[in-house]
Amino acid sequence: MISGRSGPGYVYQRYFGGENTNYFTILFGGNLEAELPYGSKFRWGAEYLPEVSDWQDTYLIRTFADWALPINGWLDFKIAAINIYNSQPEEDTENNSFTTTAGLSFRF
């Protein structure tokens, strides 16, 4: 399944030391979901969040992917990866933030 979305938003980022950045944005995003063998699922998504008044220089790009494998009727093993690219990071920080997690997921 492929889906897309868009709409207004607000970005608020707070950094260590009390500094913060905030702006209005318009979200453009999409998802891809695939049913895999043994009841497992793969999801991938991407979002582009530009500042309304400065589309070219101030934006976030978020991408994620996760894979869930059922253990029983209500419990899944899940692996996820998230990458966030910030075009205007705080001084002395990187543009990219990459996170991975693995764990159990409950369905109800």
DSSP conformation class of 89: P
pLDDT tens figures, 20-36: 888 999 999 999 999 99
Tokens linked to 31: 């998802």
Residues 22-73 have pLDDT tens digits of 899 999 999 999 999 988 999 999 999 999 998 888 999 999 999 999 999 8
**Domain enclosing residue 73, as ranges:** 2-106
Q: Would the pTM of this model clear 0.85, i.e. be above it?
A: no
- Number of structural domains, the chain? 1
C-alpha 93/C-alpha 16 separation (Å) is 11
CA separation (Å) from 44 to 7, 71, 77? 19, 21, 17
